[in-house]
């Protein structure tokens, strides 16, 4: 049994941590909920008990075995070293330590052995990276993926509860003939989309796009894989979608790919497009698997394959993947 804390407990991902720890019967001896000072006084329910939210400080980790962090990059950089110093193992959902060579970056379906190389910190990958590599890795093992081109269609939940609320508030304002307020995104999200997730880098890509490039190579141990991403924010509340094109070393047919993916852990193949049998964010909301459909040959390349991937970005893209990492640790 573990003494566990959740840092960022009142956020969208924090709420999913609480629900999934209970649903998956993780061996929690004692659960403490941490957040910023403005959340003190709130109470959140876990296993029928109302637990008060405490302020996250450098002294929050005495006697804590395991910490799930989803409090943002800056909070992770400030407080995680204190947690590690206290002997706590931290699973961090931010980007603060993902590319640190001493920190394993883990998707349990792909590289669970990396969990045991930790020095106190295990990084949870970016949400859009996780769902792509869960689908990509089985095909890579069968046919060696040489190149990936991906376009993402990312929900407002990627910006947390405030992003989801902004879409809802804009919808209400539009219905009432009122002005739309913009604060979480660079532009209006209602009835709109924009290829702008995170900040732009000097190379013309956004930080989100480069996360997908660099994190995929680290997780899959494929430093020479060619990867290009375009990340788009769309007016969807929850669950990210991705259109993925790959070039393989060995030709693989859509039928072969489907059979491989059907047998792969964490994946559900839904691929009967003529009957509407393809994954959509509305249906995938609040599920745990990564869903794949529209698996087809790319006629423009002799070794090209194209497919569509959808997953709940708050579950598999964040809280669930972190808890699966903890489960690997627990199983030893």
Active-site residue, selected from the candidate residues 127, 140, 196, 231: 127
Q: Are 8 and 70 in contact (CB under 8 A)?
A: yes
Smallest Cα–Cα separation from 216: which of 230, 229, 197? 229
Contacts 24+ apart (CB under 8 A), 142-145: 142/250, 142/252, 142/256, 142/260, 143/248, 143/249, 143/250, 143/251, 143/252, 144/248, 144/249, 144/250, 145/222, 145/225, 145/246, 145/247, 145/248, 145/249
> Which one of 118, 140, 231, 240 is the catalytic residue?
240
Cα–Cα distance measured from residue 295 to residue 52, given in angstroms and rounded to the nearest whole number: 47
Q: Please give the structure tokens belonging to residue 38.
A: 């403005």
Instruction: Give the C-alpha separation, 153 to 155, whole Å.
Output: 7
CA distances from 120 to 105, 116, 261 (A): 13, 10, 33
| Whether 231 is catalytic | no
Sheet holding 121-123, edge to edge: 43-46, 49-55, 28-35, 2-7, 66-69, 89-92, 121-123
Active site residue 240: yes
Encoding tokens for residue 5?
């804390």
Residues with active-site annotation: 127, 240
């Amino acid at each position: 049994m573990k003494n566990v804390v959740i840092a960022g407990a009142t956020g969208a991902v924090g709420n999913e941590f609480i629900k999934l720890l209970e649903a998956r019967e993780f061996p929690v001896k004692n659960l403490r909920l941490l957040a910023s000072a403005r959340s003190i006084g709130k109470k959140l329910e876990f296993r029928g008990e109302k637990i008060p939210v405490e302020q996250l400080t450098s002294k929050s980790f005495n006697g804590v075995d395991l910490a799930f962090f989803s409090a943002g990059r800056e909070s992770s950089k400030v407080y995680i070293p204190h947690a590690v110093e206290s002997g706590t193992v931290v699973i961090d959902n931010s980007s603060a330590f993902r590319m640190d060579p001493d920190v394993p970056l883990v998707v349990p379906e792909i590289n669970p052995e990396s969990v045991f190389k930790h020095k106190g910190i295990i990084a949870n990958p970016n949400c859009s990276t996780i769902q792509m590599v869960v689908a990509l890795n089985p095909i890579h093992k069968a046919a060696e993926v040489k190149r990936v081109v991906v376009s993402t269609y990312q929900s407002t939940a990627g910006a947390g509860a405030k992003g989801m609320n902004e879409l809802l508030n804009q919808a209400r304002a539009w219905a009432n003939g009122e002005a739309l307020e913009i604060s979480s995104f660079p532009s209006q999200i209602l009835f709109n989309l924009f290829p702008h997730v995170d900040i732009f880098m000097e190379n013309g890509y956004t930080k989100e796009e480069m996360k997908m490039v660099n994190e995929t190579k680290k997780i899959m141990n494929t430093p020479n894989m060619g990867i290009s991403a375009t990340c788009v924010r769309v007016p969807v509340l929850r669950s990210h979608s991705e259109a993925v094109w790959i070039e393989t070393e060995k030709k693989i047919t859509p039928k072969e790919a489907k059979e491989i993916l059907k047998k792969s852990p964490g994946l559900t193949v839904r691929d009967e497009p003529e009957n509407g049998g393809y994954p959509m964010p509305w249906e995938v909301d609040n599920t745990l698997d990564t869903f794949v459909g529209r698996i087809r040959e790319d006629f423009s390349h002799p070794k090209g394959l194209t497919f569509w991937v959808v997953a709940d970005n708050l579950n598999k893209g964040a809280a669930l993947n972190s808890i699966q990492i903890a489960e690997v640790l627990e199983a030893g």
